[in-house]
Chains A and B, each alone.
Chain A
Amino acid sequence: MKNVFSKLTRRQMIQLAAAGIAAPAALALTGCSTTGRKGAGNVVVIGGGFGGSAAAKYLKRYNPELNVTLIEPNKEYITCPGSNWVIGGFHEMKQITHNYNAAKKNGINVMHETVASVDPDKQVIKLASGKTMAYDKLVVSPGIDFKWDVHAGVDENTEKFLPHAYKAGDQTLLLRDQLQSMRQGGTFAMVAPPNPFRCPPGPYERVGMVAHYLKQNNPTAKILILDQKNAFSKQGLFVEGWELNYGQMIEHVKLDDGGKLRSIDVKNKTIDADYGKVKADVINYIPPQKAGKLAVATGLTNESGYCPINQQTFESTIHKNIHVIGDACIAGPMPKSGHSATSQARSCAANIVLAMAGQEPISAKNVNTCYSLVTPDYAISVAAIYDFQDGKIVSVPGSGGVSPMGAAPDVRKMEAIYTQGWYNSIADEVWG
Chain B
Amino acid sequence: MKNTKKPSLKKWMGVLLAGGMMASGIAQAEFDRGTMLANTCVGCHGINGISDGPAIPSIGGMSEQYFIDSMKEFRAGERPNTIMTRLAKAYTDQDIADMAKYFAKQKYVQVEQPHDPRAAQLGQRLHNSFCDRCHDAAGTNPEDDSGFLSGQMRAYLEYSLQDYMSGDREYKESRMKRELESMMNRHGDAGLQQLLDYYASGKE
Contact = CB atoms under 8 A, between A and B. Distances in A.
B44 A425 contact: yes
Contact of A15 (B13, B39, B54, B155): B13
Contacts of B39: 343, 346-347, 364-365, 367
Contacts of B43: 339, 342-343, 367, 369, 422, 425-426, 429
Interface residues of B, number: 55
Interface in B31-70: 31, 36-37, 39-47, 51-56
A5 B43 CA distance: 27
A290 interface: no
A422 B44 contact: yes
A411 B82 contact: yes
A418 B56 contact: yes
Contact of A61 (B9, B18, B83, B155): B18
B7 to A, nearest CB: 9
B54 A417 contact: yes
Contact of B82 (A18, A415, A420): A415
A244 interface: no
Nearest to A419: B53
A325 B175 CA distance: 50
B187 interface: no
Interface stretch (A24-32, A160-168, A173-181, A201-209): A24-32
B52 A19 contact: no
B203 interface: yes
A112 to B, nearest CB: 20
Interface string A171-212: 000000000000000000000000000000000000000000
A381 interface: yes
Interface in A33-48: none
Contact of A23 (B6, B9, B19): B19
A7 B110 CA distance: 13
- Which of B15, B95, B201 has its CB near the most chain A CB atoms (within 10 A)? B15
Nearest to B88: A399
A11 B3 contact: yes
A231 interface: no
B27 interface: yes
A412 B119 CA distance: 31
Interface in A78-112: 102, 105-106
Contact of B90 (A23, A62, A363, A365): A365
Contact of A421 (B16, B25, B27, B53): B53
A349 to B, nearest CB: 10
Contact of B55 (A1, A4, A401, A414): A414
B180 to A, nearest CB: 20
A419 to B, nearest CB: 9
A425 B90 contact: no
Nearest to B14: A61
Contacts of B6: 5, 8
A398 interface: yes
A73 B19 CA distance: 29
A400 interface: yes
B190 interface: no
A131 B89 CA distance: 50
B56 A362 contact: no
A26 B19 contact: yes
B25 A29 contact: yes
A30 B202 CA distance: 36
Contacts of B51: 421, 425
B83 to A, nearest CB: 6
Interface centre among B23, B51, B112, by most chain A C-beta atoms within 10 angstroms, is: B23
Interface of B: 3-6, 9, 11-13, 15-20, 22-25, 27-28, 30-31, 36-37, 39-47, 51-56, 82-83, 86-91, 95, 112, 117, 155, 159, 201-203
Interface of A: 1, 4-5, 7-8, 11-12, 15-16, 18-20, 22-26, 29-31, 57, 60-62, 64, 102, 105-106, 339, 342-343, 346-347, 350, 353-354, 362-367, 369, 381, 383-385, 387, 396, 398-401, 403, 411, 414-415, 417-418, 420-429, 432
The 3 closest A-B pairs by CB, nearest first: A421-B53, A19-B20, A385-B90
